[in-house]
């Protein structure tokens, strides 16, 4: 099937004309409404319905494309059709303008003064404590175990997209992967054989490419790894906080350039390129519907000179930014970077392309960027 944002075409080519922001918002709301209708028909919550699709896929051999059809409102043979009043306007009928999500996006910023051992080495038990606390605060659970059970459960296939591009000194700490593996398998019940932490190099058959998607603003055709389109039922986005080429930022939204076939086609922070393409990439249905958790590694961020490491522009923030909304996570990460940049220069030192990127993520309905729409929770564990 072709998702509404997906149009046939060769890599780098577009198909039909671009969708407007209002059309994209309407499409996102329509998908979520139909998913809720399918879940209600089965007497399940949205998360339970997604989990049931994952179990059905594993048990019956139903392809990831068939699960995606259900998410898009095209009921598979085993599913109840969505309720008529939730199916949206009929062919040719004008669709109502979709309002942005009314709820605030919670973002937890957890810091610990003893997380760094030396240079880039970190203390694993403290990283574990930080993630446990952040998960409970983020998801409103009494205990960390309850929170991790909300992130994934038995039957899920968890894909952790981390970033190892500039190892050994500018990458996501592997200790985060270790904690996720431990908590999601031992606490949440995920089969260890169905947990995979990757960056750009994936084992077979997960590195195979999907059919092309076309991003609306630039008609840019791109292909996701089939790990995300077919195998995975839950995605955890683990990125590192840094500046990128002067005016941009690399964090959660940019992290998925490691998940596509043509990352070079995205690059360039001039208006209309990465500031729009990165949110639109993250809005593709396989990433948007499967992302359960976003973690931005802000233990030792880079505030200038990125994406390559520059020791003169590193500082020990000693924090993790944790959310379920990648736009909100990046918006808070941008606040952290710009605050430190202003302190370093003694005057405002903004990242205009990064600001444009998070604004576009909010404009298309992917998440929240405005501070008034973000519930930022600061947790100092010192």
Give the position of tokens 């790990």: 227
Distance CA 339, CA 257 (A): 26
Could you tell me the end-to-end alpha-carbon distance of the chain, in angstroms, rounded to an integer?
Answer: 51
State whether residue 220 is helix, strand or coil. Answer: strand
**pLDDT tens string 349-373:** 999 999 999 999 999 999 999 999 9
pLDDT of 42 above 80: no
CA distances from 202 to 58, 227, 259, 325, 327 (A): 20, 8, 9, 25, 26
The two structure tokens encoding residue 261: 């076939």
Taking the domain 105-380, which CATH number applies? Answer: 3.40.50.11440
Q: Which of 96-110, 294-308, 331-345 has the lowest mean pLDDT?
A: 96-110
**pLDDT tens string 218-276:** 999 999 999 999 999 999 999 999 999 989 999 999 999 999 999 999 999 998 899 99
pLDDT of 293 above 60: yes
Q: Give, for 159, the enclosing helix (H) or strand (E).
A: strand 158-161
**pLDDT tens string 143-158:** 999 999 999 999 999 9
The closest alpha carbon to 172, from 297, 293, 256, 306, belongs to 297
pLDDT of 289 above 50: yes
Length of the chain: 382
pLDDT of 17 above 70: no
The two structure tokens encoding residue 119: 């240079």
Q: pLDDT-based confidence at 217, cuts 50/70/90?
A: very high
Mean pLDDT along residues 199-218: 94
Mean pLDDT along residues 331-346: 98
What is the reported pLDDT for 230? 96
Q: pLDDT-based confidence at 79, cuts 50/70/90?
A: very low
Instruction: Write the DSSP assignment of 284-321 as a string of letters.
Output: SHHHHHHEEEEEEEEEEEE-SSTTS--GGGB----EEE
* Higher-pLDDT residue of 346, 168: 346
What is the reported pLDDT for 168? 73
Q: pLDDT-based confidence at 309, cuts 50/70/90?
A: confident
Number of H helices, E strands in the chain: 12, 12
What is the reported pLDDT for 120? 87
What is the reported pLDDT for 352? 97
What is the reported pLDDT for 37? 63
Q: pLDDT-based confidence at 308, cuts 50/70/90?
A: confident
Mean pLDDT score across all residues of the chain = 81
* Beta strand 220-222 pairing with 213-215: antiparallel
Kindly report the number of other CB atoms within 10 A of residue 56's CB atom. 18
The closest alpha carbon to 327, from 379, 260, 378, 275, belongs to 275
pLDDT of 55 above 60: no
Mean pLDDT along residues 307-335: 96
The two structure tokens encoding residue 33: 């409404």
* Beta strand 213-215 pairing with 121-122: unpaired
**pLDDT tens string 122-136:** 999 999 999 999 999
* Beta strand 158-161 pairing with 234-244: parallel
Instruction: Write the DSSP assignment of 17-77 as a string of letters.
Output: PPPPHHHHHHHHHHHHHHHHHHHHHTT--HHHHHHHHHHHHHHH---HHHHHHHHTT---T
What is the reported pLDDT for 306? 85
For the chain, give the percent of residues with pLDDT over 70. Answer: 73
* Higher-pLDDT residue of 20, 135: 135
Q: pLDDT-based confidence at 170, cuts 50/70/90?
A: confident
Rg (CA), the chain: 20
Distance CA 73, CA 112 (A): 44
Please state the domain extents for the chain.
Answer: 105-380
Q: Largest alpha-carbon pair distance within the chain?
A: 62
What is the reported pLDDT for 119? 87
Q: Which of 33-47, 112-126, 307-321 has the lowest mean pLDDT?
A: 33-47
Instruction: Write the DSSP assignment of 173-186 as a string of letters.
Output: -HHHHHHHHHIIII
């Amino acid at each position: 099937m072709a998702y509404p944002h997906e149009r046939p075409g060769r890599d780098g080519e577009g198909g039909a004309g671009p969708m407007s922001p209002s059309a994209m918002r309407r499409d996102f709301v329509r998908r979520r409404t139909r998913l809720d209708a399918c879940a209600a028909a089965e007497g399940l919550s949205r998360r339970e319905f997604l989990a049931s699709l994952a179990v059905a896929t594993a048990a019956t051999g139903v392809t990831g494309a068939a699960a995606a059809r259900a998410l898009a409102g095209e009921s598979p043979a085993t599913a109840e059709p969505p309720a008529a009043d939730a199916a949206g306007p009929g062919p040719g009928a004008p669709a109502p303008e979709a309002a942005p999500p009314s709820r605030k996006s919670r973002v937890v910023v957890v810091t610990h003064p003893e997380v760094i051992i030396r240079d880039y080495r970190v203390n694993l038990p403290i990283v574990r404590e930080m993630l446990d606390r952040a998960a409970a605060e983020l998801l409103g659970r009494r205990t960390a175990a309850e929170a991790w059970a909300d992130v994934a459960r038995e039957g899920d296939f968890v894909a952790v997209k981390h970033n190892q591009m500039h190892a050994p000194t500018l990458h996501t700490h592997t200790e985060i992967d270790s904690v996720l593996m431990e908590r999601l398998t031992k606490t949440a019940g995920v089969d260890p054989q169905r947990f995979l932490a990757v960056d750009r190099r994936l084992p077979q058959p997960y590195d195979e490419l999907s059919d092309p998607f076309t991003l609306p603003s630039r008609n840019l055709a791109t292909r996701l790894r089939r790990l995300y389109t077919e195998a995975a039922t839950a995605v955890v986005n683990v990125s590192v906080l840094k500046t990128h080429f002067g005016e941009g930022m690399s964090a959660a939204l940019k992290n998925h350039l490691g998940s596509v076939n043509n990352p070079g086609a995205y690059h360039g922070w001039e208006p209309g390129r990465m500031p729009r393409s990165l949110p639109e990439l993250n809005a593709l249905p396989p990433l948007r519907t499967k992302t359960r958790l976003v973690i931005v590694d802000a233990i030792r961020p880079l505030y200038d000179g990125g994406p390559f490491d520059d020791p003169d522009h590193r500082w020990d923030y000693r924090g993790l930014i944790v959310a379920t909304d990648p736009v909100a996570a990046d918006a808070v990460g941008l606040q952290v970077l710009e605050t430190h940049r202003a302190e370093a220069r003694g005057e405002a030192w903004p990242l205009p392309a990064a600001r444009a990127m998070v604004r576009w993520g909010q404009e298309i309905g992917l998440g929240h960027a405005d501070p008034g729409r973000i519930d930022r929770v600061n947790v100092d564990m010192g």
